Structure 1
């Protein structure tokens, strides 16, 4: 049995303000974005290479929205301020966009179980909050290439094409013994910065610009 706490769809619907009609029981095509990326997000004539880092122009993601009842699992681990800030940003974004949101709180002793539980739900996107998930994500994500992941405020050292990260100066924990960059600053995880990272990251995933790192300036 997975050692985690999963929020029910009904509770998540109340939290996000979305409809409870979608119980996630039926499969559906890959979600398509509503709206287009703005100028300066990425060069359409030269898409970023795998594992590349790009710096989208601020606000170039504002015109992109997920389709109604976009299915997202918020995967969390850790009670530290950065992890809480990212999780709060995901919840706020989900409420604003009427996303169908479920939450998995991974057990610190068994983070892989939490990731597998999130994948088993077959969401459109798993959004990760918490540095302590990074090593486990690096281990699990290459085995689930059909599942998209977005890591906010951290990144895996060698992402596969299904793992996108949104970072900024003060964030960027990489795990795998690499740890935090010298400029790591928990105070940089402001609500505004985390909100921008979530929106930019989701916009990239919806437009299939995945397997890269978005550097939010």
Structure 2
């Protein structure tokens, strides 16, 4: 396994159900097939359909490409479970413990996905893979492999606390604002507040004009 050719697995919206929820959705004794899906229902209206897999606790993870948010229920052929709060899918870098020690990878790492670099949490697993939220994977050009960038310390919107107000502008704690910063802010539906004297690369300026990412009074572009 090479750190510059890590396999990428895009993550779409998915539900995780424990045995009692599986029985409620599909019937007692039902086998959960890999192709199984359930409807996502909000206020009595079907707002989406997601893949479903087994897990220890009931959860719904939603990618930004699907317009699902807030309190929803899951509905299968036998019944429904919920309500529950939809949670956003989060990218992560999965590594076996031995490989993680050999590479000296910390709790977070920066990985390159095509032209996009992103900081993600590192978690233990049986295989080395970069799991990427589908919205980010599409924005990066659908890459099949990713690169671990050990020399890059990237502050990104992925580092925002879970309770951050999405209407608050982002502040990039670096002298230079790059195209990657703009792409990541756009993916998170956030805007960037530039600091006095902060440098914006030409590619970032061009993309920011197109996407309207910078706060209007931050910089006369």
The TM-score bracket by the shorter chain reads: under 0.3
TM-score by length of structure 1 reads 0.26
Report the structure, 1 or 2, having the larger strand content: 2
Structure showing the higher helix proportion among its residues: 1
Larger Rg: 1 or 2?
Answer: 2
